[in-house]
Chain A
Amino acid sequence: MPDPVLQVEDLSISFTTGETTFDVVRDLSVTLDGGRTLAVVGESGSGKTITGRAIMRLLPRGAGARGRIVVAGRDMLAADERELRRARGADVAMVFQDSMSALSPYLDIGAHIAQAVRLHDPSVSRRAARARGVEMLERVGIPEPADAVRRFPHEFSGGMRQRAVIAMALVNRPALLIADEPTTALDVTVQAQILALLRELQQEYGMAMLLISHDFGVVASAADDVLVLYAGREAEYGSLRDVFEAPAHPYTAGLRAATPRLDARLDTGGERTRLRAIPGAPTSLRDAGPGCAFAPRCGLAGQVGERCVVEVPLRSRRTSGTTGGAHRAACHLDRLPSSGEIAR
């Protein structure tokens, strides 16, 4: 069996401001094989975006990562600046949420792609690199690619611009693609097209994809496995089917119940159907108490008792796994919660 493309072991990320240092992510472990998609689901404060950036060592000033991150055989946390440059854009690439701000307003699309090519292979002439750009734009479905390479970011529609960003990210055939909310800023019809394109290219190139998202709809249509983060820690991990059909963490179950669905049958007994809402607001690792960070919002914490408030639950295997893969949750409850128990 080949080595996984991405291996994350006990990753913790901390921020230092002035005198104080605090963790925003703690003890994350994940492996991802080529050709598979792992969705990282979370809300504000969950640490999903910073985790994606940590994998590429793109942390802002004052942030640091501990643990181990191996991408395509390279230990990213031990790598020096030169090795990092070689990995970024070649082994691992990133697609950002806002394609407009991720592109330089002063360069045309061709220059962006050519830059991505030439940073990793300076022997390629500028002209040849731009030609690669035309090919790539054609591959991602941009009409009249020879004309499009000469256009500037602001001259594209949101969907076309995100296609261009994908072309730029994939031009060096990375083993891992980190897609941070790649469709959040787009209209639903465009979103569906972009997700289909990503799936198609993933199969063609056999790359692994880390899909960071807050949207269960997007996750359902793109992921193989799901990692649910809450306040910087893993809440639940498992195959898409396990997490969706037998959520083991009350937070996941609550999120599923709070997400409106178009196809769900409505028992319209006169009154309009309402969503079940999780009370309270998401928190961050910094603001969480000593116990389970979700406990204050959890409808089941009362049943488990004091343990939830004082003791951080460890990840443990859930036997419900229907697909044979690992399914684990960090919860003191020893049974599966039902959605009605969490949300009202």
Chain B
Amino acid sequence: MTAPILEMTDVSKRFRTPGGFGRRRHGLLAVDGVSLRVERGEALGLVGESGSGKSTLARMANGLVTPTAGIVRTDGQDVAALGRRGLRRLRRNVAMVFQDPLASLNPRQTVRQTLENVYRAHGETTSTAELVALLESVGLGPDYLGRYPHQASGGQLQRVAVARALALKPDLIIADEPTSALDVSVRAQILNLLADLQRDQGISFLHVSHDLAVIRLYSDRVAVMQRGRIVETGPSEEIFRAPQHPCTQALVEATPEAELPT
């Protein structure tokens, strides 16, 4: 039996608010005792409103945020026990795609430099042929290698960001609102690209989004977060057909339908 690619057990995160001389410290409990697992090859959708702690949870999965309590395991390994080198290995195994592609790419680097830096950071070299193949896998032509971020559209940049995540052949991609900043007509392209990667390359996904309709289509299982806790989990279809928790019901209820009542 293989371990799940990501397993979080009773994980909490409390953010310290700045204290001072003679002042009491208060904390903000962003994530409160959450347990969650992503199986190999699976796409898990994490939904919730802003402030529900979903981004914090996602960031704990690849060590960007250290949990206050609980255990995070990727590929069966305890992340807290990893040293510097281990953490680096973790980061090549668990890649991240952010919401705003323009903000997550260095404006002074060409696409080629951006991608080469990923390899260099992990002590590897790469060839132009490899980079071209990488771009092709996200649907971009070789001419993008020489481009700067401002010379491409939002959708193309998000493809570059996905290529960067794919460069080191990760097992898990954490996508934090990967299509929220994109135009409607481009969103579907990126979502389909991510779905293809899951199907063809067996990459697992932790897909964080506030958009229930997107999560429903592109996740196998769904976890619903509210005020730092997971209030409901289950197979995607079931959750949306018969939501159990009031929070899920409210979310499903409030999502405006792009459909007219008949």
Contacts and interface: CB of A to CB of B under 8 A. Distances in A.
A281 to B, nearest CB: 4
A259 interface: yes
A105 interface: no
B48 to A, nearest CB: 9
Interface stretch (A73-81, A204-212, A270-278): A270-278
A259 B189 CA distance: 11
Contacts of A272: 195, 217-218, 220
B183 A188 contact: no
A187 B251 CA distance: 9
Nearest to B185: A278
A220 B188 contact: no
Given A43-B184, A240-B260, A260 B216 contact: yes
B214 to A, nearest CB: 5
Interface stretch (B15-23, B62-70, B91-99, B152-160): B152-160
Interface in A277-322: 277-279, 281-282, 297
A220 B258 contact: yes
A217 B186 contact: no
Contacts of A219: 258
A258 B220 CA distance: 20
Contacts of B217: 260, 272-275
B155 A188 contact: no
Given A275-B191, A275-B217, A276-B188, A263 B183 contact: no
B50 interface: yes
Interface in A201-240: 214-221, 240
Contacts of A245: 260
Interface string B215-240: 01110100000000000000001001
Contact of A43 (B49, B185, B189, B218): B185
Interface of B: 49-50, 153-156, 183-189, 191-192, 195, 210-214, 216-218, 220, 237, 240, 250-260
Given A187-B210, A189-B250, A214-B183, A261 B191 contact: no
Contact of B212 (A188, A214, A220, A240): A188
Contact of A275 (B183, B192, B210, B211): B192
Contacts of A1: none
Contact of A188 (B156, B185, B237, B251): B251
A244 interface: yes
21 contacts: A44-B154, A188-B254, A189-B251, A189-B254, A192-B256, A217-B213, A220-B258, A221-B257, A241-B260, A244-B258, A260-B214, A272-B218, A275-B188, A275-B192, A276-B188, A277-B185, A277-B188, A281-B185, A282-B153, A282-B185, A282-B186
Nearest to B216: A262
A169 interface: no
A262 B184 contact: no
Given A188-B49, A240-B260, A260-B214, A277 B184 contact: no
B107 to A, nearest CB: 18
Nearest to B139: A279
Nearest to A268: B237
B189 A279 contact: yes
A43 B183 contact: yes
Contacts of B260: 220, 240-241, 244-245
A239 to B, nearest CB: 11
Contact of A261 (B186, B251, B258): B258
Contacts of A221: 256-257
Interface in A148-205: 158, 187-189, 191-192, 195
A261 B49 contact: no
B45 to A, nearest CB: 12
A191 B254 contact: yes
A256 B188 CA distance: 11
A244 B260 CA distance: 8
A281 B49 contact: no
Contacts of B252: 262
Contact of A215 (B191, B214, B256): B256
